[in-house]
Amino acid sequence: MVWRMFKDLELVREQLDRALHPFHSRAFTRSDFDFPRINIYETPEEFVVVSEIPGANREKFDISMTAGNLTIRGEIRKIEEEGQLLRSERPAGAFGRVVQLSDKVDPKRVEAAYANGVLTVRVAKAEEAKPRQIEVKVA
């Protein structure tokens, strides 16, 4: 009975967090409530967002870019196993995450790939955001 009590408390905490902050994110911070966990890389040409999401259904991903915010939504299928569940740490169900990148991205040039449980999203920078070489002229 002790295990069930803690499991119930954990479920209540998760449900409250989802209700109060369904897609809230603090970019570049870590929290037990942020899922999926992400790494963000920046190159001169693009932002790259990498996330481990094992068990996700590739067809259920919903990825969008609005005003510099990358939204990742999806679903992880629940795996039914025999016996009484004593502890559950593997996520299941719908998830969502919003990551603020930059307002200087090209929303038409976003690519996503999912392989071996890893989602990689590449967001190209807008031309005006890319570094450019300035020629120095002789005066």
Tokens (6 digits) for 114:
């999912």
Distance from the Cα of residue 111 to its chain's centroid: 14
User: Residue 80: is its pLDDT beyond 60?
Assistant: yes
- In angstroms, the CA 72 to CA 23 distance is 9
Higher pLDDT, 66 or 91: 66
Mean pLDDT of 87-93: 79
User: Residue 81: is its pLDDT beyond 60?
Assistant: yes
Q: Per-residue pLDDT tens for 20-67?
A: 665 544 333 334 456 788 999 999 899 999 999 988 888 889 999 988
Tokens (6 digits) for 5:
């009590």
Q: Where are the domains of the chain?
A: 2-80+88-129
Give domain 2-80+88-129's CATH architecture: Sandwich (2.60)
- Which residue, among 130, 124, 126, has the nearest Cα to 47 in the 3D structure? 124
Tell me, what's the pLDDT at 129? 65
Higher pLDDT, 100 or 87: 100
Residues of the chain with pLDDT > 90: what percent?
26
CB 110 within 8 A of CB 125: no
Tell me, what's the pLDDT at 118? 94
Number of residues that make up the chain: 139
Quote the pTM value: 0.67
Q: Token match 């890319």: residue?
A: 130
The chain-wide mean pLDDT, for the chain, equals 80
How many H-runs (helices) and E-runs (strands) does the chain carry? 1, 7
